[in-house]
Amino acid sequence: MHKSQYQFIKAIAGALLVVLALPFTSFGQVGVTGSQLHKIQESFLQGEIDVETAALEQVRLLYATGGLGEQSKVLHKCATPATMFVYNFRDQISSSALAKIEAYQNPPRSASKSLTTQTYISPSGKFEIEYETSGPDSVSVVDDDENGVPDYVDLVAESADSSYRHEVLRLGFKDPIPAGSTYRIVLENLSFYGETRTTGSFPQTYIRLENDFKNFPENSHPEGDEVGAVYVTVAHEFKHAIQYAQNRWAAPSGALNWAEMDATLFEEVVYDDVNDYYNYIKTGFGASTPYSSSIFFAPQNGTPGAYYHVSWMIFYSEVFGDDIWQEVWALIEEDNFLSIDDALRQVLPGRGTDFPITFVQNHLWHFASGSRIGLDDYGFAEKSEYPFSNVDTMFNTVPLQKKEVNTIRPLAARYFEVYPSSGDNGMIDIAVDFDSSQVGLGLLFYMKDGEMKERVATGEGKSQLYVPTDIAWENIDRLGVVIANYSGETSTRSLALAMGKNGNAITVRDPEYADLPKSFRVYQNYPNPFNPTTNIDFELPRSAFVELDVYDITGRKVQELTSRFYQLGSYSIPFNAQGLSSGIYFYRFQIDDAIFTKKMTLVK
């Protein structure tokens, strides 16, 4: 088996957990689904059907019923994944089967249709739009601007030029249009939004696009759903053309899930005001509940996940800018078998961070969406329009016992939510036991003053990841906890979550904290006697609020040395008695609920 085919199969395998959750979803008059193509590819992976049958079944699904003549017809998001499958396995498909596929995809054109086909060159000169003005593939002939070209064709040309400006000229992606050529877009009555097809002459492709987008799912474009659908579909399919030009749709980045995530992202990059992707992360465009294949619904299923995981890529665009994807795809062009997540692992150090940290932050943003948004600007720009995220467990008090956590698959996470009760106090510290593979821990503090605070840590090659904080349970309304597996290859197992508070200390086994104190300790000041300065040392086995005051022999407080939160560790606080008389003084610690008092002597 060729390496590209092995990678394609591996990429399908990574998608199976997403596929199993994919339902048929109805949007108004037309049913929209992305699951059937996935399921056929799954059957191939499981050995239930051979590669030739898988290729033929996908093509039949898309083409056998023709266009949207009936309102009850099932509508597919994008047909390009089927084209990718045939392209990657073409050397294993018989010539007779390839001929059948060709017949489905390119039925013979009638003489009358050939005579009525018209073309229009976009204003940039880059795109040639083919269209009909009669018959089943006809576009609307309305021409309000009276330029002799149907307004719908003008709209397609405008969106193609805009996509080219954003994706090639502004962001610097490889130009899929050979010098001196125009790029062909064919308008037809389809059972899907669009498709990017190869021409047999690398790197050339062409796009097939729905001819009217009537009764398609809702979006938010101010000029209407049909206009919005044209815009995002052209941006989406043109990104598929760029993918082909850069790595010939080689898996894993060129397989269904990563490729569709990437193309769907560029709908949002080019046309931020359309938001067609809301239909794939929520149960309906205006709903607040998460779609069953989205990260919001099932973060434990793992990325990639085609259209339904586009929010994962939006995170990186919003944090680092859209140009990060040009860097990612430049690496993929050099190494066709590089996955998008592995390319990010190479790019992010140049942005001052790393993939494990950002992977955890990505899931914290998903947690803080929908009904869990805070009062500040933390998280996605459109977080209020996103659905809420499902959690494994919600705690109404800080648990005293460890919480066993199920295995976390590659590039997946599990979410927890804690509402501290009135009796929960003391500094927050969290530990995750695991199998020494890798784990990420994200904490999201919903402060009582409305601020959101974030803590992120990662660990590998040890059996516990411990995170102390300087935040008290009594100062938060709730805590979001994300336990994540940032590996693209191996699962994280043997997980348990522990939470510390006053009266419920965590047993710390993280080797990073091996030399830390095992109990509260307050030491005798040194030197003693002293004149006029001395040092007072103490040790904390966990984060705590510390007050340290000095009193004279009559019990009068003469100086406050500290009153604040300290993380676990060893500390030394200086005391200067310059303005005090010789004599005996007492220093008094209050560490959370514990009190320690010692005597010292000032001799001048």
- Distance CA(560)–CA(300), nearest Å, equals 50
Q: What is the CA radius of gyration of the chain?
A: 31
Confidence (pLDDT) at 16: 47
Q: Alpha-carbon distance 512 to 598, whole Å?
A: 32
Other CB atoms within 10 Å distance of the CB of residue 488: 19
Kindly state the percentage of the chain with pLDDT values over 90. 76
Q: Give ranges for CATH 2.60.120.680 in the chain.
A: 391-513
Question: Which CATH superfamily includes the segment(s) 391-513?
Answer: GOLD domain (2.60.120.680)
Residue 579 CB neighbour total at 10 angstroms: 8
pLDDT band at 30 (very low <50, low <70, confident <90, very high): very low
* Backbone conformation region of residue 104, classed left if phi is above 0, alpha if psi is from -120 to 50, else beta: alpha
Rounded to an integer, the average pLDDT of 28-53 is 74
Residue 11: C-alpha distances to residues 54, 303, 313, 532, 549 (Å): 16, 11, 17, 71, 63
Q: How far is the C-alpha of 517 from the C-alpha of 371, rounded, in Å?
A: 41
Tell me the average pLDDT across 546-561: 96
Tens digits of residue pLDDT in 122-169:
999 999 999 999 999 999 999 999 999 999 999 999 999 999 999 999
Q: Which of the pair, 267 or 501, is modelled with greater confidence?
A: 267
Q: Is the pLDDT of residue 34 over 70?
A: no
pLDDT of 571 higher than 90 = yes
Is 220 or 74 the better-scoring residue by pLDDT?
220
Q: Which one-letter amino acid corresponds to residue 158? A: E
Partners of 574 in the β-ladder: 535
On the question of a cis peptide bond just before residue 222, with omega within 30 degrees of 0, the verdict is: no
Q: Per-residue pLDDT for 26 more than 60?
A: no
**Nearest alpha carbon to residue 306 among 394, 398, 376, 236:** 236
Across residues 490-504, what is the average pLDDT? 94
Residue type, 367: F
End-to-end CA distance of the chain, in Å?
88
pLDDT at residue 71, rounded to an integer: 42
| Cβ partners under 8 Å of residue 258, min gap 6 | 11, 252, 304, 339, 340
Indicate the pLDDT class of residue 251, thresholds 50, 70 and 90. confident
The yes-or-no verdict on residue 546 having pLDDT over 90 is yes
The DSSP call for residue 167 is I
pTM for the model: 0.88
Cα–Cα separations (whole angstroms), residue 55 to 5, 71, 85, 421: 14, 27, 7, 57
Q: Rounded mean pLDDT of 426-453? A: 95
The pLDDT of 373-380, averaged and rounded, is: 94
Question: What pLDDT is stored for residue 20 in this prediction?
Answer: 39
Average pLDDT over residues 376-403: 96
Mean pLDDT lowest among 346-350, 516-520, 573-577: 516-520
How many Å apart are CA 78 and CA 241, to the nearest integer? 13
Q: Which residues of the chain form CATH 2.60.40.1930?
A: 521-602
pLDDT of residue 295: 98
| pLDDT of 568 | 83
CA distance 465 to 439: 8
Summarised one tens digit per residue, pLDDT across range 94-110 is 999 999 998 888 776 64
Strand order in the sheet with 569-576: 521-522, 533-540, 569-576
The predicted model gives 469-494 an average pLDDT of 96
Segment 7-16 mean pLDDT = 52
Query: Could you tell me which of 227, 214, 195, 193 has the C-alpha nearest to residue 70?
Result: 214
Helix and strand element counts for the chain (H, E): 14, 24
Phi and psi torsions of 575, nearest 5°: -130, 125
Decide which of 257 and 313 is more confident: 313
pLDDT in the model for residue 369: 97
Nearest to 214 by CA among 346, 384, 486, 28: 28
Q: Is the pLDDT of residue 402 over 80?
A: yes
Residue 167 has which token pair? 């994706």
- Please check the confidence at residue 200 and state whether its pLDDT lies above 90: no
CATH number of 521-602: 2.60.40.1930
Q: pLDDT digit string (tens) for 277-304?
A: 999 999 999 999 999 999 999 999 999 9
C-beta neighbour count of 269 within 10 angstroms = 20
Q: Give SS3 for 505.
A: coil
Helix (H, G, I), strand (E, B) or coil at 35: helix
Q: What is the dihedral of CA 41, 203, 162, 138, to 10 degrees?
A: -70
In the predicted model, is pLDDT for residue 10 greater than 80?
no
44 pLDDT band, cuts 50/70/90, is: confident
- So what's the pLDDT on residue 201? 77
Indicate the length of the chain as a whole number.
Answer: 604
Q: Which of 28-42, 79-93, 452-466 has the lowest mean pLDDT?
A: 28-42
* 32-37: average pLDDT: 62
Tokens matching residue 302 = 């793992």
Contact present, 467 and 429 (Cβ < 8 Å): yes
